[in-house]
Amino acid sequence: MTVAPVQYYTGNAFTSTPHGGGQAAILVLPSTDPRLQDDEFKSTTARDFNLPMIAFHSLLEDGEVPLYSVEWRLPDGNEAPLCGHASLVGAHIIFGLHPDAKAVEFKTNARGVVRAEKYPNGEIGIELPLQAAGVPTAEEKARLGHILASAAGLPDSAVLEVTTWQEGGAATAEIGPEVDLGNIKVDIEALRAIPHHAILTQLIGNGDDGVRVNSRVFIPNWGVLEDPVCGSGHSAITAHYLLGPASSRVAKLVAGGDASSATLDAKQLSERGGALKTSLAGKNVRLVGRAWRTGRGELEVF
């Protein structure tokens, strides 16, 4: 049987230029293609692309709001339950396939339906499940704070707050605005003590598009040493600042003093850099940013 080539696209998300942000490959297959059920095909393809995320899509329902299935794969071939930047790239690509659509939806394997909306200024907004900001015990806060601070070459006292998510397997450590977060050298191997995401973040003050926060995100146990820009991580960052222990300080920067109504002007200080706006949307987090298509072609080797 002749196997048809697979259409693929590459793109970058959450960046103001085509050469920054999070990279992703987007593959679009017919819903009847047996390769959608072929774990070895998806794992091998993800390893071959070797980008921070690879997404496999197929059209489930056409209409005013097209519905696509999605499965995300990490560069090591393993499945990821959710990916924000690949959702943004995928939405950008699929809006190109459905030029009249104002919204698209992605049916995920583990996180329900992700909705993306196209804005008149060229930005795209996606809604992801809120990663609640868990407050650890004092002992656990000290342990996690020490891991993150020491990995960054900082004293434990540099950590202002720690919140957890992914059932305690991921940690967000807030440090002061005086730290040059973008230029500190981080011992990524030391962060393997945290099973999932390890985030360093800081509250800077009022920015151009809301309350300015910086971050760096590391996921070494998932094969991503430093994430260029992490959408799902910013779900946790948003909860940390707008609902968690940092919300009292954010409230002082917001008209009316309600942190939950704020928009974060979020910058990820990775080598590639990332920029997005985040806010609460009911039980979800809304992430808004730009995506760029950088290439397209056909995958011919399976």
CA 154, 158, 164, 168 torsion-angle sign: positive
Nearest-angstrom CA–CA distance, 115 and 95: 12
Instruction: Write out the two tokens for 282.
Output: 């009911």
pLDDT tens per residue, range 24-57:
999 999 999 999 999 999 999 999 999 999 999 9
Helical residues (DSSP H) of the chain, grouped into ranges:
39-49, 84-97, 138-151, 231-242, 247-251
Domains of the chain and any CATH numbers:
6-130+289-299 (3.10.310.10), 138-280 (3.10.310.10)
Q: Name the packing angle between helices 231-242 and 84-97 (round to 10°).
A: 120
DSSP character for 277? Answer: E
Name the maximum alpha-carbon separation found in the chain: 65
Round the CA-based radius of gyration of the chain to a whole number and report it. Answer: 19
Which helix (H) or strand (E) covers residue 284, if one does?
strand 284-289
- pLDDT, tens digit (0-9, with 9 covering 90-100), for 70-102: 999 999 999 999 999 999 999 999 999 999 999
- Cα-based distances in Å from 295 to 18, 56, 89, 125: 11, 16, 12, 22
Counting as low any pLDDT under 50, the low residues of the chain are 1
The whole-angstrom separation of Cα 97 and Cα 154 is 48
